Structure 1
Amino acid sequence: MKIFRGHGRRFFLQLCLLMCVGASVAVTHPAQARDTRGVSSLATDYPVALSVQIDPATVTDADLNDIRAAGFEFVRFGARPPLKSVNPSSIDYPRLIKRVKNARLEAIVTLFGGSAIWGQNPEDLRPGSRRETRFSEFATGFIKANAADVAVWEVWNEPDHKTFLKPEFMANFKAASSELCADMARQKLQPKIVVGYGFAHMPFVGDKVPETLEDAFVEAASSDCLTDISIHPYRPVPETAFADYGKLRAQLDQRQLHKTGIVISEWGYASYLPVRNRSTQASLVFREYLINVAADIKLLNLYAWKDRGRSSFSKEDNFGIMSNAGEKKEAFSALTEFLKIAKHARKVSYADDKGANRLVLERDNALLHVVWTQNTERNLTVPVAEGKKCTRVDFFPQMRRGSCGPRTGGAEGGFAVKATAYPFLLSVSD
């Protein structure tokens, strides 16, 4: 989707040397520093830290304050070099980053230099200079200048999509990644969270991501340059991501990238006619968040805050959870009402029973049973011990609290419910 406008060999040599050292000998290794780096170190008030995509050219201070008040902790935006071919608006990024901090939000900044690694036009490249060097100079300079105010750095956006990287520059991209990592190491730049590359397709699973890009990622992660992998798991229904996350985790572990976490740096659903109305968008966005909780994903960036245009029939114009005119869509209302309840909650369990999804969260002395399906309706029983208090919370078409209804099945029974594609929860407490 559109975003708003040598070291690998050294690692394996070090690993071999360490394997030759007796287990009783304490050795300092760069990987030990990773314990305090990466998305696993991220602090959040929610089961999954939530970010939302903003347009750096149009976002207002009021928008940023509303985003924070709604329960979002992060915002994501792309940073482009000062080249008119890729940054015609000449965004004042340092000022934007300060505005984000003033709204008590954290920034996820995605660095990229154009679909040809550097710029779009031949004149963007100085005589005798290399694309790889120009990109590294920009990225390291930007990181160094804004290190204190950016929580998450992302290197590139969807290099497996020709909009952001022309296929003929795949080899240059790998070289640019290596040069950036070398420059960061030389300058001792080691941000707490650096993710890459914002893959448009699931890497290492299937064959949609070019092997050259996968190799570039493995090299960068193995050298401790990238702490985590970032992906964009767009798909017709959110629930299919759960199994793919497991496959990706297995592939990372197979490549000895055990500490490499998974970040969802872009994923959303558009409300555009006649394909999908706002109510269906709300269901999918809500379930997108829930499935990331189920999979223990630490950070999700939702695409996007506000619709880009006013046409009801344009997909790209309607990914927002707010309309272009500033009206809250159903997706905004359902998700943000759930966040109020889920604050400080943690996952207990998740089960998928042939399309009937059950997610259990714990908050204080209450268990929150969230129930939904992918499409069809299912009659289910939520087990609740006799004597427990139970409150049902619905989020569609608007939030309402009520009784869980009559118990069923005796002392060991619970409450009968009809699960649909619109999630609801039963809050159970003493």
Structure 2
Amino acid sequence: MQVRALPVLQNWDCHSCGDCCRSYAVPVTAEEGRRIEAQGWERLPEFQGVPYFVKRNGEFYLNHRADGGCVFLGADKLCRIHGQFGAAAKPLACRIYPFLLVPAGDHWNFGLRLACPSAAENKGRPLSAQAGDARQYADFFESTAAKGSLDGPPPPLYGNQWVGWGDVGRIATAFSKLLANGADPFERRWRKVLFVVSMLRKAKFDGGGDPKKAVVGGRLSELLHVLGTAAEEEEPAEPGEVSRPGWVGRTVFRQLVALFARKDHGAEKGEAQRGPVRRFASAVRFATGRGRVPKVHAVLTDGATFAAGERPLGALGADAVALLTRWHRLKVESLQFCGAPNFGLSVWDGIESLALTFPAAMWLARVLVAGGTEPGAAVTQAVRMVDDNFGFNPLLGSARQKFALRLIAARGDLPKLVAWYGR
């Protein structure tokens, strides 16, 4: 399968910050474990009596030291396995991060996770220049994937409404163009996308069983263009013209923000995540939305309050807008927002779940600014926190959270949340 770099201009190179080596529980296959054990680390004093792996729920992961760093992370913030034996000797999860390879019919979409600091800051070479590495990872997945798992059908638009991979790509391209429109504030770009989705939910793409009436190919492109034009007329120009989200919408939203913000592993693990009692108390606090924000992530200050999350952040700087644009266009064009990469969500549900990450990041940025972080840095940190969980935190894929997302969308609160927290 061909590996396709995305049209979004995104750069990345590893700058050896060690963040990923302190943040993640890295899975290790049996073969990888045997290879690491054969490397002779037991001869070094600092590895005496230190296990390389830990076992959780029947799976093995790289061990971490007391300071939160991977057992193989050196004092220079470099991987000792990499330095001694080369990149190929590391577990695949370490080698591929923060790349994303999303199967899309007859090709792979090559994307990136902006949870990585260098990715969020757009530092390094263009992704298009790293197709060789992506090809190696794709070869591995193709050789190990179960038969037929990579050439399956695309996710449904919703219910029993389906279109082919090419038409899913047309939809993603149309959404990406709306998100790239620099003439609009970023929050209005998302409101336009959500308007188009609300209209598309009413369409019957199969033509009622008549192939000649099916909304596919050029007919779909024309419909997307017409709806995009209508969104310009229908969506208010300013967020202040959009009504405030309702109490139910805000309450459910805060509970979803708690999942987007939480850090359960590594040096930045939130104090509110340490034990079931604290987790329960944290959930209650997010539901009520009063007082101090629980430290579900270590970067949240002790004095952060829910009231701070309701204060407008003001006009975003050019760098912050560029970051938000890259982030969401990457997710849309890679198709990470729907199907298997996002807990099996349909196309319409998936794009709405991605839309929710914008007000979630803006809420977190407001709280970080209230704690003393500069606005631009606060937006960057918030994007990294949310992207760390989007598509990866299994709680976001639970039936309860999928219901919460549908509830917000069905009540019409999603575009209101986008406008309210985009102020």
| TM-score, normalised with respect to structure 1 | 0.25
Higher strand share: 1
Q: Which has the higher contact order (CA 8 A, sep 6+)?
A: 2
Higher helix share: 2
